[in-house]
Amino acid sequence: MGDFYRKRRQSLVKLFKRFRVEAFLVTDIRNVRYLTGFSGSTGFVFLGPQDEVFITDFRYEEQSKKEVQGIDIFIADNYIKAVRQFVRKWKVERIGFEASQPYKLYEALQRFSKPKAIDNLVERLRICKDEAEIAHIKEAILRAERAFLEVKPFIKVGKTEREIALRLEEAVKRQGSTKVPFEFIVASGPNSAMPHARPTERKISPGDLVVIDWGAEANGYFSDMTRTLLFDGPERSKKIEIYNIVKRANVRAIKAVRPDISVSDVDTEAREYI
């Protein structure tokens, strides 16, 4: 697993020349995890042309030893002082950092280097998923699917949206997810018309369309899935017709996906059919 992280860091270093920097400081914790596998809440990755170091504090010393491989770990009382120490040791001056970070970081780096804010440098790499990432995403999908199938028999007339949402969240975590990606949506009857409805105490009634939007997590990667259920009752044939129109639009959009097509064009394929 460590090889994937090493290759990602090496790919990042190869971009230094293009952006005219000698080193790059990664502080966004999502990018830190992408480059090292560290799942804690605080840590920096500092990459030079030949050297690299993961910087964290004493709270994460044991965790980083378990999760971070193939890169030196430095335990620091002060993150910026640690960066300054490595700037001097590596004899680098032009330091790139993530443009999304606070101006205070720029001010701190400016005291001992020539910092340069760069937009989406790590994110450029993250756009194309590698083998490990694809495996994590597939596992997140499987966890969500298994959780839904476990809860599906519980989804009946008379159950509240909130009851179903809570049971689904529990099932997702039992499947191995350490967290849920977002607040799950269980929307029934008139609530199902709201794209981002929140689960309420409304009970499912005969004839309801029930929209369930949920997902799962695997190693920091999330899945996001939606299923629509129809309960027998009034205007059943009309609701089946509506459902099938949306389903065909969905299939049409999926078939339109190809390299170099914009996401707006894919969206248009579905909307025009509807």
Instruction: Return the pLDDT at 89.
Output: 97
- Whether residues 174 and 121 share a domain: the answer is no
- Whether residues 121 and 137 share a domain: the answer is no
Q: Which two tokens stand for residue 19?
A: 């952006």
- Whether residues 104 and 59 share a domain: the answer is yes
- Whether residues 115 and 83 share a domain: the answer is yes
User: Which residue is it, tokens 């205070």?
Assistant: 104
Strand 94-98 and strand 23-26: the pairing is parallel
Q: Is 147 exposed, middle or buried (0-12, 13-18, 19+ CB in 10 A)?
A: buried
CATH number of the domain at 170, please. 3.90.230.10
- Whether residues 122 and 137 share a domain: the answer is no
Domain hosting 138: range is: 133-234
As a whole number of angstroms, the distance between CA 212 and CA 183 comes to 11
Instruction: Return the pLDDT at 3.
Output: 87
pLDDT tens, position by position, 177-224: 999 999 999 999 999 999 899 999 999 999 999 999 999 999 999 999
Instruction: Return the pLDDT at 1.
Output: 59
What pTM was computed for the model? 0.88
> Which of the listed residues 126, 147, 174 is the one where a domain comes to its end?
126
Pick out the chain residues at pLDDT < 70.
Answer: 1-2
- Whether residues 187 and 101 share a domain: the answer is no
